[in-house]
Amino acid sequence: MSELTHLTLAQARDALRSKKISATELTKAHLNAMEKARLLNCYITETPELALDQARQSDARLAEGNAGPLEGLPIGVKDLYCTKGVRTTAASRILDHFTPTYESTVSSNLMRDGAISLGKLNLDEFAMGSSNETSAFGPVVSPWRRRSDPEAKIVPGGSSGGSSAAVAAHLCLAATATDTGGSIRQPAAFTGTVGIKPTYGRCSRWGIVAFASSLDQAGPITRTVRDAAIMLRSMAGHDAKDTTSVDLPVSDYEKAVGQSVKGRRIGVPKEYRIEGMSPEILQFWDQGVAWLKDAGAEIVEISLPHTKYALPTYYIIAPAEASSNLARYDGVRYGLREAGRDIADMYEKTRAKGFGSEVRRRIMIGTYVLSAGYYDAYYVRAQKVRSLIKQDFDLAFAAGVDAVLTPATPSTAFAQGEQGSNDPVEMYLNDVFTVTVNMAGLPGIAVPGGCAANGLPLGLQLIGRPFEEETLFALASAIEQAAPKIEYPKPWWA
């Protein structure tokens, strides 16, 4: 059965359509793999009965020739997406046993197209983290192991660490994820998977637990560029329930995969050569440049002068919005409630117990930067810098650049406990190459490019013009073709 889980999403789709396999056997293969992989802690909630029930319905539709674009394809859903009748946790204690009566727009788009949900994937609490270590349901273990010390538990990145690990470990064909400062691209880079954060407004945010509303965006994590294109086509689209979603037609992204990139202009930003970057990452970046050049793209050096302010600015805006977005978790209407002497005491006890330390830290930072006397110095200035960051990209694109190539992360994955335990900023630095993209609302894709000397994967990032995801799929597939094929780890956990 294991070869079924090793199909790509596209291969599985074609095999289902040609009736070589059934949705039920494909689903069972994945459920079986999930059962053996509990050590990795990818799923917070597994929904085997629901999955098998959906698989039966998919088989019936496939038999009738009435199949949707994703008919019968088992996927995992990040547990930040509200799912009707299925517990949704945001990896936090504060939601307790919260079971939504509604389905997020993006997950319901996927179900509409025939996808089967295997369960809810682990993440950093409220998507706040870069290693999946802040989850109230325990960290996710990456299927990848370091050559030097194979016993060390490697992190899958975050916040979509359950998604990236489950895809890399073949525990689903694809997964939904979300990205506020790099939460799709960084875990994809850490696990040798593909992750795209589309343009802000491309996917509806309705029904996804909010972290930072002006930055949050849904996207997929998959094993191939083609699979990402297939997933995004179903996930994207205008939604009247989210006024920040954009009413533009959704292209058939799959058609862009494998398209020639000849003559495409690729900008290489000099400011991304940050101090202390390992020579291995720099070399890998140069390799990416060479691959695209070989594929016929034109390479130009560009300047994005405000890059160095992106991370500090991000850590003002994102916590500010989060401090307000998370105010609704107050113990009054749903989720955890800790009894108190009075209402203020109840709030304090509930929120102290319900939120983990990283979430509390960000709520406090956010409350601080919005408070009277500090608002102008922090929040207002951060918004101004944000405009400048966006302007940097606008100027590069106006000068004819089609996409920007950068490393996805400043390092390969690390082991649990290795980063951020003494200084949270150390962990925040993981997002240094990815946050600019959220700040500017642009699409960004992480694509694997091989492995480092330590045996762990490395990812490149391509940043595109607003709503030109097709360009990213074409360029990413050129890299995918040129790069050494990713050999996902053998299931040492099973």
Q: Which is nearer to another protein, 123 or 169 (CB)?
A: 123
**Residue 96 or residue 298: which is nearer to another protein going by CB?**
96
Of 131, 135, 159, 245, the catalytic one is 159
Tell me whether residue 18 is one of the annotated catalytic residues: no
Minimum CB distance to another protein, residue 244 (Å) = 6
Contacts for 382-389: CB closer than 8 Å, 24+ residues apart: 382/313, 382/316, 382/317, 382/320, 383/317, 385/306, 385/309, 385/310, 385/313, 386/313, 386/317, 386/439, 386/440, 388/306, 388/309, 389/304, 389/306, 389/307, 389/309, 389/310, 389/313, 389/436, 389/439, 389/440
Q: Would residue 183 show up in a list of annotated catalytic residues for this protein?
A: yes
How far apart, in Å, do the first and last CA atoms of the chain sit? 14
Handedness of CA 429, 433, 438, 440 (dihedral sign): positive
Which residues contact another protein by CB under 8 A?
A: 81-82, 88, 90, 95, 98, 100-102, 104, 205-210, 212-214, 240-244, 320-321, 323-324, 326-328, 330, 332-334, 343-344, 347, 367, 370-372, 375, 379
Query: Rounded distance, CA 477 to CA 457, Å?
Result: 17
Q: Dihedrals φ, ψ of 493, to 5°?
A: -85, -15
Whether 78 is a known active-site residue: answer yes
For the bound state, the minimum distance from the C-beta of residue 361 to another protein, rounded and expressed in Å, comes to 17
Q: Quote the CA–CA distance of 86 and 422 in Å, as a whole number.
A: 36
- Closer residue to another protein (CB): 28 or 93: 93
Residue 162: CB minimum distance to another protein, A: 18
Q: How many residues does the chain have?
A: 494
Q: Which is nearer to another protein, 372 or 453 (CB)?
A: 372
Q: Could you give the C-alpha distances from 350 to 60, 98, 123, 126, 328, in angstroms and in order?
A: 47, 15, 21, 16, 12
As measured in angstroms, the least distance from the Cβ of 103 to another protein is: 10
Element (H, E) at 197: strand 194-197
> Least distance to another protein from the beta carbon of 322, Å?
11
Which residue out of 117, 183, 245, 477 is catalytically annotated?
A: 183
Rg (CA), the chain: 21
57/213 with CB nearer another protein: 213
Rounded to the nearest whole angstrom, what is the least distance from the CB of residue 375 to another protein in the complex? 7
Quick one: 66 or 371, whose CB is closer to another protein? 371
Query: Of 22, 28, 58, 78, which is the active-site residue?
Result: 78
DSSP state of 154: B
User: Minimum distance from CB of 92 to another protein (Å)?
Assistant: 10
Q: How far is CA 110 from CA 62, 143, 160, 248, 438, in A?
A: 16, 26, 18, 19, 24
Sign of CA dihedral 483, 485, 486, 489: negative
The tokens for 219 are 């996207």
Any idea which residues carry the catalytic annotation?
Answer: 78, 159, 183
